[in-house]
Amino acid sequence: MAPDDAAEARQTMPLLLCLSGGGFRGYYSALVLAAVEEAVGAPCNRIFDLIAGTSIGGILALGLAHGVPARTLADMIREHGPAIFPRYPLPGLRRAFGPPYRGGRVGDAVKRILPAQANLSLSAAPTPVMVVSVSPATARLVVLSSWDGGATALMSTADAAMATSAAPTYFPSHRASLGSGGTSMDLVDGGIAANAPDALAIREATFSLGLPEERLAILSVGTCAPAQGGVGTLTPAAFGLVGTLRHLGGRGLVDLMMAVQEAHGLTEARARLGGDRYLRLDRAPSGAQAKLLQLDNASEQARRTLEDLARQTQAGLRDHHSHGVWRRMVARAQFVRR
Residue type, 81: G
55 in active site:
yes
Quote the CA–CA distance of 97 and 155 in Å, as a whole number: 31
Quote the CA–CA distance of 91 and 12 in Å, as a whole number: 51
How many CB atoms are located within 10 Å of the residue 321 CB?
10
Quote the CA–CA distance of 237 and 125 in Å, as a whole number: 49
296 in active site:
no
Quote the CA–CA distance of 15 and 217 in Å, as a whole number: 5
Burial class of residue 87 in the structure, from the number of CB atoms within 10 Å of its CB (0-12 exposed, 13-18 middle, 19+ buried)? exposed
Tell whether the model's pLDDT for residue 9 goes beyond 80: no
Of residues 110 and 330, more confidently modeled: 330
Give the CATH number, domain containing residue 146: 3.40.1090.10
Look up the domain containing 263 and give its range.
3-337
Q: Which of 6-15, 43-52, 152-161, 292-301 has the lowest mean pLDDT?
A: 6-15
Share of the chain above pLDDT 90, in %: 48
Q: Which of 49, 159, 189, 296 is catalytic?
A: 189
What's 49's DSSP letter? S
Tell whether the model's pLDDT for residue 6 goes beyond 70: no
DSSP string, 183-204: -EEEEEETHHHHSS-HHHHHHH
Q: Which of 20, 29, 49, 55 is catalytic?
A: 55
Q: Which of 26-30, 77-81, 147-151, 181-185 has the lowest mean pLDDT?
A: 181-185
Quote the CA–CA distance of 190 and 131 in Å, as a whole number: 8
Torsion sign, CA atoms 99, 283, 197, 264? negative
Q: pLDDT-based confidence at 4, cuts 50/70/90?
A: low
Q: How many domains does the chain have?
A: 1
Q: pLDDT-based confidence at 239, cuts 50/70/90?
A: very low
pLDDT mean across residues, the chain:
82
Q: pLDDT-based confidence at 302, cuts 50/70/90?
A: very high
Q: Measured between alpha carbons, how far is residue 49 from residues 10, 35, 275, 322 in Å?
A: 7, 19, 20, 21
Share of the chain above pLDDT 70, in %: 77
Tell whether the model's pLDDT for residue 24 goes beyond 70: yes
| pLDDT for the residue 289 | 92
Tell whether the model's pLDDT for residue 156 goes beyond 70: yes
Most trustworthy range by pLDDT among 156-160, 182-186, 293-297, 321-325? 321-325
Tell whether the model's pLDDT for residue 43 goes beyond 90: yes
